[in-house]
């Protein structure tokens, strides 16, 4: 899988290099609110965006603008992002010790591949678009609570390596390194080369590789940054 991801990235770069004269680049960073939805056969279901399970973190982007036709652009990003959530405790059974994951953090190198329309305004351009994304898991961590009769006895932190040696965030659950889904984006490119953007992302890949649960990621982010140049100058 790692070889496949590397091959896709190299093909992506080879496509951009001949277009260097037409392509503009930029950097931006911002604030992320994420959630990880988990549903298993026992009926456990975690919360999603808009609830108190949200994890707040930061992200960083490399922006690439590729003109396609008039106001239509291909605008991929290379994004470092932390996804995850505060997970609800597992249902407890009286008199039995239960291990339940608490805070989950997953670090990804993500490539959203958006197709956007840019509408000119006196102050710059409004940008509206959507597209798929693929993401490669770099690592992560989670807090595991030891619970008895609904009370937390102790909490230990564990690393996630995305391999078969992982203990898993819950009994029988191990995570896949790759994630994929779709996102929508809006933003403004100001005439002074500053950029402001927001996007909503929804994962459709089940990142539980054991099939004992369905686990998906989602997040909302806002970003601020700057373009190094403009492709229309």
Range of the domain at 154: 25-227
5 domain residue, yes or no: no
SS3 124: strand
Query: What is residue 215's predicted lDDT score, i.e. its pLDDT?
Result: 87
CATH of the domain at 187: 2.40.160.20
Number of separate domains in the chain? 1
Output the tens digit of pLDDT for each of the chain's 233 residues: 555 555 555 555 555 555 445 788 999 999 999 998 888 766 666 766 666 778 899 999 999 998 888 889 999 999 999 998 887 776 777 877 777 777 889 999 999 999 999 999 999 999 999 999 999 999 888 887 777 777 777 777 778 877 666 555 655 557 889 999 999 999 999 999 999 999 999 999 998 887 777 889 999 999 999 998 776 54
109 domain residue, yes or no: yes
* Residue range 188-218, pLDDT digits in tens: 999 999 999 999 999 999 988 877 778 899 9
3 domain residue, yes or no: no
Query: What is residue 147's predicted lDDT score, i.e. its pLDDT?
Result: 76
Query: What is residue 231's predicted lDDT score, i.e. its pLDDT?
Result: 63
48 domain residue, yes or no: yes
13 domain residue, yes or no: no
The C-alpha R_g of the chain, in whole angstroms, comes to 20
Contact by Cβ (8 Å): 218, 201 = yes
Question: Of 151, 150, 132, which is closest to residue 203 (Cα–Cα)?
Answer: 132
Q: Which residues contact 158 (CB under 8 A, 6 or more apart)?
A: 141, 142, 143, 144, 167
4 domain residue, yes or no: no
Query: What is residue 137's predicted lDDT score, i.e. its pLDDT?
Result: 93
SS3 7: helix
* Residue range 86-110, pLDDT digits in tens: 877 767 778 777 777 778 899 999 9
167 domain residue, yes or no: yes
186 domain residue, yes or no: yes
């Amino acid at each position: 899988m790692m070889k496949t991801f590397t091959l896709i990235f190299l093909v992506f770069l080879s496509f951009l290099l001949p277009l260097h004269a037409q392509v503009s680049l930029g950097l931006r960073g911002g604030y992320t609110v994420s959630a990880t939805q988990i549903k298993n056969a026992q009926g456990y279901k975690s919360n999603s965006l808009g609830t108190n399970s949200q994890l707040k973190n930061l992200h960083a982007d490399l922006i690439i603008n590729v003109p396609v036709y008039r106001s239509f652009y291909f605008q991929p990003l290379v994004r470092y992002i932390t996804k995850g959530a505060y997970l609800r405790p597992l249902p407890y059974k009286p008199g039995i010790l239960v291990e339940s994951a608490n805070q989950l953090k997953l670090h990804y190198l993500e490539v959203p591949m958006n197709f956007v329309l840019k509408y000119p305004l006196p102050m710059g351009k409004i940008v509206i678009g959507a597209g798929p994304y693929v993401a490669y898991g770099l690592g992560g961590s989670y807090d595991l609570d030891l619970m008895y009769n609904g009370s937390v006895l102790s909490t230990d932190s564990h690393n996630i390596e995305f391999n078969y040696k992982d203990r898993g965030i819950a009994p029988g659950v191990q995570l896949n390194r790759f994630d994929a889904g779709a996102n929508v984006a809006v933003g403004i490119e100001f005439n002074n080369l500053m950029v402001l953007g927001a996007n909503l992302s929804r994962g459709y890949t089940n990142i539980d590789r054991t099939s004992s649960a369905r686990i998906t990621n989602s997040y909302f982010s806002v970003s601020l940054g700057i373009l190094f140049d403009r492709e229309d100058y």
